[in-house]
Structure 1
Amino acid sequence: MTIEYDLQMLSLYENEVKNSQLIIQHNPDLFSVDFVSQLDVSHLSIIKCVNLTSISSSALSHLTIEDCSLSTLDNINTPNIQSLGLSKNSLQLNALQQLNCSFRQLRILDISFNKKVDISFIDQNIQELNISGCEINIELLKTRLLTKLLCNWNGVKQITHLNAFRDLTELQLQANLITEVSTLQYLRQLKKLNVSYNKITSISALRPLKQLTYLDLSNNELTQADPLIDLKQLAKLHITGNKIRNFNLLQTHPNFKQFQVVGQYQLKKKDKIMFPKIKLTDVSTTVLIQIHTNRIKTKLHIQEMKIGIQQTLDLLYQRQNNFLNYISSIFDNTHGFQ
């Protein structure tokens, strides 16, 4: 159920809400949300309700209060909350300490794009944490059971202490000031890693991360991609905006489903983009290659290794290039998009 009307107070008593989800959005006059404990609403989202001052419900397990100009949480009474989203507010340093909830039950916390919030007391049981854009010192983190950490746009320079977070499966460190990632070699459970928009010069430390399926290295200072050859599970790679001149890893990598080269590599006449061997019986497998703003002025050869490319190539994008000739291929059904 979605509510977009102008309200000053919302009281729901034993109503039936489809999927147990209630969304209140763009309401400038909403002050209070009051639920009785028997109400079957477990998911509540409040978006851009700038006058919101209080919420009370023991039934809530998932609460999102986004872009509501909240500075304090002393009138938020949700003792059984498990997932809490407080993104894009104006939370004060001690705001989380004011919250009436059991932090031992809290598993997911999003306080991204707030002021500097104190998280040093948060319980060890937190599994997913988003502190992007908060200027929070991640060295204060004590939640060693984290499986997902988002720490983008935080001015982070050092990540040496992250070697203790061995349960992480997803780590986002986009748009920081990181120069080296040697610590990441200890995070062997990682499946998704985003370190784009940093100042990284070497990725040799990523070799042990055998479970990686998604990797974003865009806009760093890399000159080589060879260490990625060892990441056999890697299916999606974004590596645009570096100084790499050799993508030979494509010829031997067994599992690429998506490979993106944008505006960093001037393809020459002799270059051939080789696709990996993909089993014909795997009908779910698709390959996407983007060739974007690479100033291609000659014939481009796109080949596969041993099997029919028409079974493995799903989309070929070519945008903003200056072809003097054309794209030639050994297959018939490629779709080109201008």
Structure 2
Amino acid sequence: MSDFDEDPVLSDVEGGEEHLKEAENEKVEVQHLTQEIISEGLSLLCRTGNGLAHAFVKLNLQKRGLEDIAAINSYIHIRFLDLSNNHLTDLSPLSSLTQLLWLKVDNNSVMCFKEQPFAQLTYLQWLSIAMNQLTDVDGLVGPALESLNLTGNHIQRLNGFQYGSFVNLVTLELRGNHLETTDGINLPHLQQLYLAQNAIKRLEGLEKLERLTTLHLRDNQLESLDGLSPSMKCLQYLNARCPGPMATKQAQIINLHHHG
């Protein structure tokens, strides 16, 4: 999957936000998804699940100006799909692509998850929906998801991140949203959490994240460190650089996991 290989988490990498903004400006004029466009984007011939036939399993449809992807639903063998830099609002046609492992939908216009488009994608491990118009994660489920990137949306609350919907999630990226609290993430297997560039004032609910090793909170509005829990014994890296009084407490923050 060489064309699609990349670091799934862009958080706290210098220039990451600029990269996303540049990509957003590269959208092209609207056009309909045709069989010809699909054929041009197909690659990577592999055996199908039963081993008796072959099919292309990689599809690159980025920068095609697409508003509708209904024509994609018959390509059931696709495993790697890039839909970045289009005009998509509805991802429900993806529900039939049950072999998907990797999906990128960055820089589109998705506002919600109609009809739980990923509920049947039981093999999907990597999902990026950065730079869209999401305000919450209602309807988003990922039974096999290990990495989820929601950078640069308008998400205000986290109550959709429950263990039953994301039992395997290890990395969660929510940089550049509109969050005011960390409460609502009930993911006991989560190891990396990126929450930089939000409006977080309070640390709440973190005691549930006992396996967390990395927590990024820089450029928020933290009023105190209350909420960092002694149960977070796996925490190895914590970045809470914030303007104001909190900026003087970095040494204390970084070493908290050594105590208690």
TM-score, length-scaled by structure 1: 0.53
- Confirm whether residue 185 of structure 1 aligns to residue 162 of structure 2: yes
Shift of 1:132: 1.1
Find the aligned partners of 1:69 and 1:142 in 2 and give their Cα distance.
Answer: 25
Shift of 1:82: 1.8
Spell out, residue by residue over 1:4-62, the C-alpha distance to the aligned partner (whole angstroms, 9 max, x if none): xxxxxxxxxxxxxxxxxxxxxxxxxxxxxxxxxxxxxx9679xxxxxxxxxxxxxxxxx
Q: Are the counterparts in 2 of residues 194 and 215 from structure 1 also a CA contact under 8 Å?
A: yes
Alignment of 1:260-279 (within 5 A): 260-267=239-246, 273=252, 275-276=255-256
Shift of 1:178: 1.1
Alignment of 1:1-338 (within 5 A): 73=37, 75-76=39-40, 78=43, 80-87=55-62, 89-94=63-68, 97=71, 103-116=75-88, 119-122=91-94, 123-140=97-114, 142-144=117-119, 145=121, 146-162=124-140, 164-186=141-163, 187-206=166-185, 208-247=186-225, 249=228, 253-267=232-246, 273=252, 275-276=255-256, 305=259
> Taking every aligned residue pair, what percent have the same amino acid on both sides?
18
Find the aligned partners of 1:168 and 1:126 in 2 and give their Cα distance.
Answer: 11
Structure number with higher strand proportion: 1
Determine which structure has greater relative contact order: mean sequence separation of CA pairs < 8 Å that are 6+ residues apart, divided by chain length. Answer: 2
SS of equivalent to 1:273: helix
Q: CA RMSD in A?
A: 3.5
Q: Are the counterparts in 1 of residues 79 and 100 from structure 2 also a CA contact under 8 Å?
A: yes
Shift of 1:75: 4.8
Aligned residues, how many?
213
**Runs of 5+ unmatched residues, structure 2:** 5-25, 46-54
Structure number with higher helix proportion: 2
Find the aligned partners of 1:44 and 1:242 in 2 and give their Cα distance.
Answer: 34
Find the aligned partners of 1:251 and 1:241 in 2 and give their Cα distance.
Answer: 24
Q: Are the counterparts in 2 of residues 109 and 129 from structure 1 also a CA contact under 8 Å?
A: yes
SS of equivalent to 1:175: coil
Q: Are the counterparts in 2 of residues 250 and 276 from structure 1 also a CA contact under 8 Å?
A: no
Find the aligned partners of 1:271 and 1:73 in 2 and give their Cα distance.
Answer: 51
Match of 2:49 in 1: none
Find the aligned partners of 2:210 and 2:244 in 1 and give their Cα distance.
Answer: 24
**Runs of 5+ unmatched residues, structure 1:** 1-41, 46-66, 278-303, 307-338
Structure with the greater alpha carbon radius of gyration: 1
Q: State the one-letter code of the partner of 1:213.
A: Q
Q: Are the counterparts in 2 of residues 96 and 118 from structure 1 also a CA contact under 8 Å?
A: no
